Amino acid sequence: MTMHSRGLLLLVSLCCTIITADQNNVNVAINKTYRQISTYPNTGAASNAADNNTAGTLGTKTCSHTGSTSEGVGIPPNVYHWWEVDLGRIYPVHNITVWARKEHNSDIFFDRLYPFIITVDNKTCVNVTSPTSNIIRSNSVTCSSVMYGQVVRLTLTETNRTLNLCEFQIFVCKEGFYGLDCSSPCDKNCDEGCNMTSGFCTRCKKGFWGPELCHHNCSAHCAGPTCQRDDGNCEECQPGFYGEGCSRACGYCQVNTTCHHQDGHCLAGCVSGFAEPLCLQVQVKQENWVVPVVGSLAAALLICIGLVAIVCWCRRSREETEENDQRVAPPVEPESTQDRDRPSSASPISDADTTVYGIIDKDDAEEMHVQEDNYADRALYMQLSPRASDEALLVNIELS
């Protein structure tokens, strides 16, 4: 393919794209409500600026014209002249074309249109200081971004100048197309078109859902053909189904009845043998003897626990008492050596003791009333007459 052929093909393709895009546009400024700061008598009505006629002559009443006071004389001083259109509802405003006035002598009244600012619901869309060409009356401008609004206003940015506006066009995409050039078709499942900028569906066709492009099918168990746009939940379920997307089957509800479409409980109760509220589990019947037997066992268990607690408490109390007695008992003093050597009255006296007593003078013994065969008297004698006892012990040692 030659270079000339490629250039021709590119030009044809570009022209076709432009034509297609133009066909998908629509001017929404026509047949709406119009206002302006003031009106030049007889020829300058505000509606002339959006009558779909771009001829641009004042005499044919195709242009708007400001400048008169309420009395019809002079230009209001220190005022910025403006013109506006109320679109009736919110549109995505982006592409705007303005047309200047031209008379039969080919003069273009650029000073009656420039410089200007366009606002959408009082927010700046674009600020234009001069025309793009000194010989072209139209000027296509775009907002800095797509702006959604209803009232679009053009205002001169210099005072004490009248405004002549011969056509004001706001182009948006036709229903079924979106994009800056309106060349993209909306999704096939969109109903009533789509967002002219993003392409998101305005509404979904019956049987479809999705937060953006309606690509999901509604559940087959929905009672109607539609479901909620954002999550696909059915507004009502077919009899016998409930839950999210009506995807869960009801339990064993009474014959010819159904369950609640949200929580699934049977509206008229369960068939015999199934437990409410969902009627999915088999109901277990309790015999009449079960409750008394279970109650008796529980009472016996409580009694046993009480007895064990009492026994443990009594044992613990006894042990604590014994421990306290041991703490308060006086200590036992150890025996002295003298006490250990001294014979007890209850202890038998050894032969050595007898020998001692045997050598004591009889008269002394009779005087002390000591009997030889009386162990208690002998002990008493030993306690009362330690000297005699010592002497006897000495004699006993010598004899031995």
367 and 360 Cβ atoms separated by less than 8 Å: no
Residue 114 pLDDT: 96
- In the chain, the largest separation of any two C-alpha atoms, in whole Å, equals 191
* Angle 35-38-40 from CA coordinates, rounded to 5°: 110
Mean pLDDT of the region 379-399: 47
Reported as a single tens digit per residue, the pLDDT across 128-148 is 999 998 889 999 999 998 899
Please report the DSSP string for 198-254 in residue order: T--EEEEPTTEE-SSS--EEPPTTBSSS-B-TTT--BSSBPTTEESGGG-EE--SBS
Which of 135, 132, 147 has its CA nearest to residue 91?
A: 147
CATH of the structural domain 19-173, one choice from 3.40.50.410, 3.40.50.10320, 2.30.30.280, 2.60.120.260: 2.60.120.260
Residue 101, beta-bridge partner list: none
What pTM, to 2 d.p., does this model score? 0.52
The two structure tokens encoding residue 131: 């025309």
* 287 has a pLDDT exceeding 70: no
Most confident range (mean pLDDT) of 206-210, 283-287, 378-382 is 206-210
* 107 has a pLDDT exceeding 70: yes
Sequence ranges of the domains in the chain: 19-173, 349-399
Mean pLDDT of the region 235-253: 82
Q: Rounded to whole angstroms, how far apart are CA atoms 197 and 175?
A: 12
Residue 330 pLDDT: 55
* 46 has a pLDDT exceeding 90: yes
Mean pLDDT of the region 109-113: 92
Q: Which of 87-96, 360-369, 371-380 has the least mean pLDDT?
A: 371-380
pLDDT-derived band at 83, boundaries 50, 70, 90: very high
pLDDT-derived band at 291, boundaries 50, 70, 90: low
Residue 201 is given by DSSP the state E
- CB-count exposure of residue 43 (10 Å: 0-12, 13-18, 19+): middle
Q: Which of 104-113, 165-174, 193-202, 324-333 has the least mean pLDDT?
A: 324-333
Which of 229, 224, 230 has its CA nearest to residue 261?
A: 224
* 386 has a pLDDT exceeding 80: no
Residue 355 pLDDT: 43
* 285 has a pLDDT exceeding 60: no
The two structure tokens encoding residue 66: 């400001």
